[in-house]
Chains A and B, each alone.
Chain A
Amino acid sequence: MIRNCFVRLALITGWFLLVQVGLAAQSRMPQLKYTDRSLPNGLRILSAPDRSSPTVAIQVWYHVGSKDDPQDRSGFAHLFEHIMFKSTKNMKSEMMDRLTEDVGGFNNAFTADDVTVYYEVVPSNYLETLIWAEADRLSGLNVDDSNFKSERDVVKEEYRQSILAPPYGRFEYLLQQKSFLVHPYKRPTIGSIEDLDAASLKDVQDFHNTYYRPDNATLVVVGDFDPKELDAWVDKYFGPITRPDKPLPRVQVKEPARKGESRVTEYGRNDLPAVGLTYLAPRQADPDSDALRVADAILSAGESSRLYHTLVYEQQLAAEADANAEVREDVSLFVLTAVLSQGKKPEDAERSLLAEIKKMQDSPVSAAELEKAKNQIITEQLQLRETSNGKALALGEAAVLLGDPARVNTDLARLQAVTAADVQRVMKKYLTDSNRLVLYYLPEASRKTGNNRPEETAF
């Protein structure tokens, strides 16, 4: 699930498969039965018992992400996520590791544009301990300067390892950065070295005070537990935490519609050129997201997908070709990328990507292709839900990002309802010429002097 420190919530092309008939597939999709309750202080708790193995997954979803990074502090929400593993009132640094890793469990956390999620999987007899620990770090941090600085150095190394060391790390960074004009999504989650250097302990305190409050948190527990015991522990440890009076700040900035194609050329330490196209797409909760997700699968899931078949297999233009319905809470991106084969031109890859888009706009996809895509997406979900942690991720995403935990079950029905006409309609509606950004990412060695100068960047 984790590679080069990028987590993608859904795995690439599920390799477990379902039946050919979509409705049959849906009927085999086990429904996730959960309980939904809230404390008076605003904390929401979603829980689903499953006693098949003696472990339990605990997650806390905070509705704050890198779009909420303070001014001139890009990367702060993510840095803060790391700091949450340092001292709290009652825990010394890395005590979370003592309570999880040391007893045969594990912990991790991730920061995305819209959310920050902390999670643990432990032997189920440690559930009460972890409920206590999560409540403790929601209550307050107690970090000293040397711990803060050494963890900030870790995050700077994470930046180097994910953006500077891999040949296309900066390409992905630039794709996001260049795709938004005004929305804070234009600041990629990892931030910049300069802004990380500027961050202080005061920022940590302010950020915790502003966003880490019970009415901005959702606790998800899935696995081996007794519901009555869980309720009692949650009441005991989270109940006394007070809800601040101040309203929660929310990003209000609206990204304007694009009014014409824009083109950017950048240079890097890659040997093979890469091309990216991005289109603004509706927010994640929008009904059109389902059809865009199906379009994504038709374009890029597996070796019979359109992009692989055409660009990689038939034309041998690209070493890799991909499409992503990259959903976000406020405004999404539909992204197509190709890393070229040796000796091929970026113009040719761009032309082929555009031709594949046009094909899907000009005629509906076949029934078999549509069915295949739906089976692949549902399969991916089934695979995700093989583990308690995966079930909790699906539940948290539905509640926090889609605004309704019931969507953990109903979205699969919505997906089944997508028609070939829907796919054609969204391709025409969103993948228009005037809604396109084109990024060429070329080898430094190919830079011509005097022209094609890239605009200034953070590097």
Chain B
Amino acid sequence: MNRMSIVFTRVTVFIGLVALLAFPFAARSQTPQATPPPPASPRSVEFPRPVEQTLANGLRVIVIERSDTPLVSAQLLIKNGGEIDPPELPGLADMTANLLTKGTQSRDATQIAEAIEALGGALESGARWDASNVTVGVMSAKLGPALEILADVVRRPTFSKEEVERLRQQYLDNLTLALGEPGSIARFVAARVVFGDTPYGHPIAGTTESLARISRDDIAKMHSRFYRPDNAILVIGGDISAKDGFTLATRYFGDWQKPSVAMPAVSAAVDAAAATKPGRVVVIDKPDAGQAAVFLARIGISRKDADYFRGIVANSVLSGYSGRLNQEIRIKRGLSYGAASTLDARRDIGPFVASAQTKNESGAQVADLLLSEINRLASAPPADPELTPRKAVLIGNFSRSLETGGGLVTQVASLALYGLSLDEINHYINNVQAIGAADVQKFAGKHLDAKTSNIIVVGNAKVFLPELERRYPNVEVIKVSDMDLNSALLRKKQPTK
């Protein structure tokens, strides 16, 4: 449901040239001054301080009090996600998390949806990399009943055969939708190219083949091994006192038994050799693609890397509306609706991805621009008049993400997941301000080498391939019908005659 009809915006997601022939428009009148008035002095900000307790069963409970709106958000995290999928079963962690809300010992799927929606809210669950989570948002007076349902679905899911089959079909349908879109194909392929057969390499919501293989037993086993209080974090934020938060957490999660067996060992992850291998250029030929998706992808850093703040500032120089990628690709050349990059720092080394969608004709040109911008960042430090605003962007985005209760819980949950100090939300601004131009260049030189970066282009290859091959001698072309996301080979094995 939505209220307004479809609208088009200037930019999605994130938020001067020499005039050859100026076309002077007759202004109807003049504003009284030709330069902008300067800013007044700024006001300072302070974010709430999270408090925490660990229950006897090992569950870590965090409460963040902020009472300006009568709403509360809660998130239960399990400290593992898609990275624990067995190699032959991509999608298992995500299906397991998704099925939590599809039936417990006392409620079926319909009863769960009705119970939570009658309260006015929704219960969402799923897996991502490094974590699985269940979230709920309620009016503060209703937190009790909502947490009761949250605890029920985390602790007592039944994974009925019927629900497993239903969800399997939904995942297959969603995958069919994703495989029709050049951007999502490029994301799947980029992960395989960067991570190969290691734990971050597969599609987190599965492949056509793996979804067919996942059984109810696999799901129940994953739940019993990983969904345990000593592998979980509960974060509650909004219009709630710490005392009430801990009382409710104890009421609904206090008797959750910790299994006597130790947590299964989880092997980490990324192939260290990936940092030194020469980059590949992979083309997925999708002849009916209405646009080409162009990705530059490589390994980045882990969340606990000492270079983290250098990294996010370096990424901010590249990304965002006025970042270098969008400046060069959209603003100067009109080649895309938007170009951006992400430094996705995870428990283990995560990916760095820069991307843009463009008409098929300019696929090779955009690939070149992505690579040359990565090179440029490593070759010279950004000047201060460029760097200062890019740091302001990061600080502004961060501060706005904490404006809503849901945003506050998400930020704190992420710090908790990676074992970082929860008070980092109050040090973030200083940490960003401390980064200098030399740090940015150093980071790019150490972590974003263009020579070991990969290029992935998904689109109508016959339009851009000749130019791409002229620029790069090592282009690998895979027809979309031959593409196989189940392994690092990316190509279906030819049937032997």
Q: Which residue of A lies closest to B389 (CB)?
A: A102
Q: Which residue of A lies closest to B6 (CB)?
A: A6
Q: Which residue of B lies closest to A301 (CB)?
A: B1
Q: Are B289 and A165 in contact, with the CB atoms below 8 A? A: yes
Whether B336 is near chain A, meaning CB under 8 Å from some CB there, is yes
For residues 191 through 246 of chain A, which have their beta carbon under 8 Å from a beta carbon of chain B? 201, 204-205, 208-209, 213, 224, 236-237, 240-242, 244
The 7 closest A-B CB pairs, nearest first, are A164-B290, A17-B120, A153-B334, A104-B396, A140-B27, A17-B121, A102-B389
13 contacts between A and B (CB under 8 A): A5-B8, A17-B120, A110-B8, A112-B4, A139-B27, A142-B27, A157-B334, A190-B8, A303-B117, A304-B114, A312-B170, A313-B109, A322-B1
For residues 300 through 329 of chain B, which have their beta carbon under 8 Å from a beta carbon of chain A? 320-322
Whether B260 is near chain A, meaning CB under 8 Å from some CB there, is no
* Residues of chain B contacted by A386 (CB below 8 angstroms): 69, 71, 403-405
Report the bound CA distance from A131 to B349 in whole Å.
Answer: 45
Whether A125 is near chain B, meaning CB under 8 Å from some CB there, is yes
Given contacts A28-B70, A144-B20, A125 and B320 within 8 Å (CB-CB): no
Q: Are B11 and A297 in contact, with the CB atoms below 8 A? A: no
* Residues of chain B contacted by A297 (CB below 8 angstroms): 1
Q: Are A125 and B138 in contact, with the CB atoms below 8 A? A: no
Report the bound CA distance from A4 to B135 in whole Å.
Answer: 24
Report the bound CA distance from A28 to B71 in whole Å.
Answer: 11
Q: Are B3 and A17 in contact, with the CB atoms below 8 A? A: no
Given contacts A18-B120, A94-B322, A386-B405, A6 and B181 within 8 Å (CB-CB): no
Chain B residues within CB distance 8 Å of chain A = 1-17, 19-45, 68-71, 73, 109-110, 113-114, 116-122, 124, 135-139, 141-142, 146, 166, 169-170, 172-174, 176-177, 179-183, 288-291, 293, 320-322, 330-337, 357-359, 388-389, 392-393, 395-397, 399-400, 403-406
* Residues of chain B contacted by A162 (CB below 8 angstroms): 8
B2 in complex: contacting residue of A19, A133, A324, CB < 8 Å? A324
Q: Are A157 and B358 in contact, with the CB atoms below 8 A? A: yes
CB proximity of B479 to chain A, nearest CB, Å? 16
CB proximity of A262 to chain B, nearest CB, Å? 20
Report the bound CA distance from A10 to B10 in whole Å.
Answer: 18
Report the bound CA distance from A302 to B30 in whole Å.
Answer: 51
Whether A52 is near chain B, meaning CB under 8 Å from some CB there, is yes
* Residues of chain A contacted by B137 (CB below 8 angstroms): 14-17
CB proximity of A31 to chain B, nearest CB, Å? 14
Report the bound CA distance from A167 to B120 in whole Å.
Answer: 32
CB proximity of B105 to chain A, nearest CB, Å? 20
Report the bound CA distance from A367 to B478 in whole Å.
Answer: 57
Q: Are A242 and B29 in contact, with the CB atoms below 8 A? A: yes
Given contacts A8-B3, A139-B28, A90 and B177 within 8 Å (CB-CB): no
Whether A44 is near chain B, meaning CB under 8 Å from some CB there, is no
Query: B8, B24, B135, B139: which has the most chain A beta carbons within 10 Å?
Result: B8
* Residues of chain A contacted by B395 (CB below 8 angstroms): 104
Report the bound CA distance from A8 to B2 in whole Å.
Answer: 6
CB proximity of B163 to chain A, nearest CB, Å? 10
Q: Are A142 and B332 in contact, with the CB atoms below 8 A? A: no
CB proximity of A419 to chain B, nearest CB, Å? 19
Q: Are A125 and B43 in contact, with the CB atoms below 8 A? A: yes
* Residues of chain B contacted by A236 (CB below 8 angstroms): 32
Whether A455 is near chain B, meaning CB under 8 Å from some CB there, is no
Report the bound CA distance from A204 to B176 in whole Å.
Answer: 42
Q: Are A108 and B10 in contact, with the CB atoms below 8 A? A: yes
* Residues of chain A contacted by B122 (CB below 8 angstroms): 13-15, 302-303
* Residues of chain B contacted by A325 (CB below 8 angstroms): 1, 3
Whether A410 is near chain B, meaning CB under 8 Å from some CB there, is no
Report the bound CA distance from A13 to B16 in whole Å.
Answer: 42
Q: Are A368 and B392 in contact, with the CB atoms below 8 A? A: no
CB proximity of A369 to chain B, nearest CB, Å? 9
Whether A60 is near chain B, meaning CB under 8 Å from some CB there, is no
Q: Are A342 and B172 in contact, with the CB atoms below 8 A? A: yes
Whether A339 is near chain B, meaning CB under 8 Å from some CB there, is yes
Q: Are B334 and A152 in contact, with the CB atoms below 8 A? A: yes
Q: Are B121 and A14 in contact, with the CB atoms below 8 A? A: yes
Report the bound CA distance from A302 to B119 in whole Å.
Answer: 12
Report the bound CA distance from A3 to B320 in whole Å.
Answer: 16
Report the bound CA distance from A28 to B140 in whole Å.
Answer: 11
Whether A107 is near chain B, meaning CB under 8 Å from some CB there, is yes
Report the bound CA distance from A300 to B28 in whole Å.
Answer: 48
Q: Are A110 and B9 in contact, with the CB atoms below 8 A? A: yes
Binary flags per residue of A259-287, CB closer than 8 Å to B gives 1, else 0: 00000000001111000000000000000
Chain A residues within CB distance 8 Å of chain B = 2-10, 12-20, 25, 28, 30, 52-55, 78, 81-82, 85, 87, 89-94, 97-99, 101-113, 121, 123-126, 128-129, 132-133, 135-136, 139-147, 149-154, 156-158, 160-168, 172, 176, 188-190, 201, 204-205, 208-209, 213, 224, 236-237, 240-242, 244, 269-272, 293, 296-297, 299-304, 309, 312-313, 316, 319, 322-328, 333, 339, 341-342, 368, 371-372, 375-376, 378-379, 382-383, 386-387, 397, 444
Q: Are A103 and B23 in contact, with the CB atoms below 8 A? A: no
Report the bound CA distance from A55 to B68 in whole Å.
Answer: 16
Q: Are B336 and A154 in contact, with the CB atoms below 8 A? A: yes
Q: Are B113 and A144 in contact, with the CB atoms below 8 A? A: no
Q: Are A296 and B1 in contact, with the CB atoms below 8 A? A: yes
* Residues of chain B contacted by A342 (CB below 8 angstroms): 169, 172-173, 176
Q: Are B36 and A382 in contact, with the CB atoms below 8 A? A: no
Q: Which residue of A lies closest to B20 (CB)?
A: A146
CB proximity of A304 to chain B, nearest CB, Å? 4
B39 in complex: contacting residue of A30, A103, A313, CB < 8 Å? A103
Q: Are B169 and A53 in contact, with the CB atoms below 8 A? A: no
* Residues of chain A contacted by B357 (CB below 8 angstroms): 157, 160-161, 165
Query: A106, A208, A269: which has the most chain B beta carbons within 10 Å?
Result: A106
B322 in complex: contacting residue of A102, A144, A213, CB < 8 Å? A102
Q: Are A376 and B117 in contact, with the CB atoms below 8 A? A: yes
B31 in complex: contacting residue of A13, A112, A132, CB < 8 Å? A132
Q: Which residue of A lies closest to B44 (CB)?
A: A54
Q: Which residue of B lies closest to A99 (CB)?
A: B36
CB proximity of B497 to chain A, nearest CB, Å? 28
Q: Are B23 and A145 in contact, with the CB atoms below 8 A? A: yes
* Residues of chain A contacted by B321 (CB below 8 angstroms): 97, 101, 106
Q: Are B32 and A10 in contact, with the CB atoms below 8 A? A: no
Q: Are A106 and B10 in contact, with the CB atoms below 8 A? A: no
* Residues of chain B contacted by A172 (CB below 8 angstroms): 6
Report the bound CA distance from A152 to B169 in whole Å.
Answer: 42
A9 in complex: contacting residue of B2, B37, B400, CB < 8 Å? B2
CB proximity of B97 to chain A, nearest CB, Å? 15
Q: Which residue of A lies closest to B331 (CB)?
A: A94
Q: Are A129 and B39 in contact, with the CB atoms below 8 A? A: yes
Q: Are B1 and A167 in contact, with the CB atoms below 8 A? A: no
Q: Which residue of A lies closest to B5 (CB)?
A: A326
Given contacts A9-B3, A304-B110, A189 and B177 within 8 Å (CB-CB): no
* Residues of chain B contacted by A4 (CB below 8 angstroms): 12
* Residues of chain A contacted by B73 (CB below 8 angstroms): 16
CB proximity of B223 to chain A, nearest CB, Å? 21
Q: Are A108 and B15 in contact, with the CB atoms below 8 A? A: yes
Known contacts A121-B400, A126-B39; 13 further A-B pairs (Cβ under 8 A): A8-B4, A9-B3, A16-B139, A16-B405, A108-B15, A111-B7, A150-B334, A165-B291, A168-B177, A244-B28, A272-B176, A319-B174, A375-B120
Q: Are B8 and A146 in contact, with the CB atoms below 8 A? A: no
Q: Are B166 and A269 in contact, with the CB atoms below 8 A? A: no
Report the bound CA distance from A8 to B122 in whole Å.
Answer: 19
Report the bound CA distance from A37 to B397 in whole Å.
Answer: 32
